[in-house]
Amino acid sequence: MKIINFDKGNSLISQYMSELRDVNIQNDRLRFRRNLERIGQIMAFEISRTLEYKEVDVQTPLGVSKCHRIADPVVLATIFRAGVPFHHGFLDYFDNAENAFVSAYRKYKEKENFDICIEYLASPNLEDKIVVIADPMLATGASMELSYRALLTKGNPRHIHVASVIASQRAIDYVAETFPKEKTTIWVGAVDDHINDHSYIVPGLGDAGDLAYGVKE
């Protein structure tokens, strides 16, 4: 399994990441959503470099040009709700892609004890397609795994790209153990050391859904 950690090198993702984490900036919801979208755009470009392309003849006003277009069928999948602006970044670049949506959330039984619940899935057929599953925060990996299992009911993808803005090392290890190693790539903006008793990434950035859309009841 290949893991690409953008924090290991220099890119614009580092700039946007610093703004997402900064308590003096992140309360600007519009800017927070836009930074999630920008990181999605950059990751989309990097993923595009791994795809297969085909040569096509394109008619210009003055002749015919040999060009290249994506040959792989791409499906963009996202996990509600923080994943929506991140997803939009991918969709800005893969504008002809099909889309899938999964509702995965924490249902608390006690203060620090919760189950991951999935109540909604809308997806095209995924058989032999390239699937990008985008979720900004990869804390334990449980939501990502359950979402992937739900998506498998729509077909067996050719390759899975797991995309996250911030992940814990625990979640990276969990995805590496539970996803098919030969056809999974993990793309992450940064990997933080651990999670706290509430299963939030530390230092992380807080609750990405709340920062993007407001506090929920």
**In the structure, what pLDDT confidence band is assigned to residue 120 with cuts at 50, 70 and 90?**
confident
Predicted pLDDT of residue 89: 98
pTM (2 decimals)? 0.92
CA neighbor of 76 nearest in space, from 2, 157, 188, 177: 157
CB-based contact 155:185 (threshold 8 Å): no
Predicted pLDDT of residue 107: 59
185: DSSP letter: E
**In the structure, what pLDDT confidence band is assigned to residue 169 with cuts at 50, 70 and 90?**
very high
Write down the CATH number for the domain with range 2-213: 3.40.50.2020
- Quote the distance between the C-alpha of residue 196 and its chain's center: 22
CB-based contact 11:4 (threshold 8 Å): no
Q: HSE-up of 198 (CA within 13 Å, CB side)?
A: 8
CA neighbor of 89 nearest in space, from 149, 179, 20, 170: 20
Q: HSE-up of 86 (CA within 13 Å, CB side)?
A: 31
Predicted pLDDT of residue 106: 60
Q: What is the mean pLDDT of residues 113-123?
A: 75
**In the structure, what pLDDT confidence band is assigned to residue 53 with cuts at 50, 70 and 90?**
very high
Predicted pLDDT of residue 17: 97
Predicted pLDDT of residue 49: 98
Q: What is the mean pLDDT of residues 70-81?
A: 94
- Quote the distance between the C-alpha of residue 60 and its chain's center: 36
Query: Domain spans of the chain?
Result: 2-213
